[in-house]
Amino acid sequence: MWIADGWKDYQVLDTSRGEKLERWGDYLLVRPDPQVIWNTKRVNKGWKKMNGHYHRSNAGGGEWEFFDLPNEWSIHYKDLTFNLKPFSFKHTGLFPEQATNWDWFGNLIRNANRPIKVLNLFAYTGGATLAAAAAGASVTHVDASKGMVNWAKENAASSGLSDKPIRWLVDDCVKFVEREIRRGNKYDAIIMDPPSYGRGPKGEIWKIEDSIYPFIELCTQILSEDALFFLVNSYTTGLQPAVLTYMIHTAVVTKFGGKVEAAEIGLPVKDTGLVLPCGASGRWTKE
């Protein structure tokens, strides 16, 4: 498992009864987590001093209950700053477990000793975009949600990265890649964080089980001959590390050589010393 253990402003404090207690800077949130199927005693005082609690509904979805929580606040990861705000379906605008991937590809970019062009697809609020730009890459950030792209721009400004070579695009990721193929554009690295299900700006349907492998194959057409890395993240239960390995090996290694590794990603839990699994990632590198 690849563990995001470099945080100072974020911690999973405890997990029990389908929920996790987290510290986001100065604030404590309780959110549901489908991986937490154990029923342990809640000894951490934070369970009774939370600033926000997301209650899941039996009918699907849910709603927040707030206790002295600001509308927006910020936390830091190394030199990066992220603006947070609770919004629909339990999210805050950041997936802290992804820091293990930021560190991994940030080192690759810094050690490449050449200009690196990165394409970040389904780029959300820009965690990977900021990490790549801070490491010295030029980044094309693509997401179908205008609100998410604007949020990512705000994070870049807060991180002092507004002057970095970042292209911000509100677009359907599949259609964007198809146009880049026709244009003949190439990228040295591709990052994708596809949703399990989604719709593009014009109603395009994305269902990961049907769409992910053809899309990875499509993206190989815009990888440069001297590509540096290819990263695929998955929060979908069926896409385990072995499946990611097989997909990336079949689509990428057979064309470009190199090697692929995949593993669960996770966050350390302060009170128990265990690691909470948070999805999986597949990583391809040329060497």
281 neighbors 192 (Cβ within 8 angstroms)? no
What is the pLDDT at residue 101?
Answer: 98
Q: Can you list the alpha helix ranges (DSSP code H) found in 112-236?
A: 127-134, 146-158, 173-183, 208-219
H-helix or E-strand containing 99? helix 99-110
- pLDDT, tens only, 236-249: 877 899 999 999 99
**Mean pLDDT, range 156-180, rounded to an integer:** 97
- pLDDT, tens only, 92-137: 999 999 999 999 999 999 999 999 999 999 999 999 999 999 999 9
What DSSP string describes 44-95?
-GGGGS-SEEEEEPTTS-EEEEESS--S-EEEEETTEEEEE---STT--S--
Distance (Å, whole) CA 115 – CA 90:
38
What is the pLDDT at residue 46?
Answer: 97
The residue whose two tokens read 């695929």 is 232
Cα→Cα distances 138→48, 77, 181, 186, 262, Å: 45, 20, 19, 12, 25
What is the pLDDT at residue 201?
Answer: 62
Domains of the chain: 2-84 (2.60.40.1180), 96-285 (3.40.50.150)
Distance (Å, whole) CA 2 – CA 217:
25
Tokens linked to 52 = 């926000």
The residue whose two tokens read 């936390």 is 75
> What pTM was estimated for this model as a whole?
0.94
Evaluate if residue 59 carries a pLDDT over 80: no
The residue whose two tokens read 């719709």 is 199
What is the SS3 assignment for 260? strand
Distance (Å, whole) CA 96 – CA 153:
18
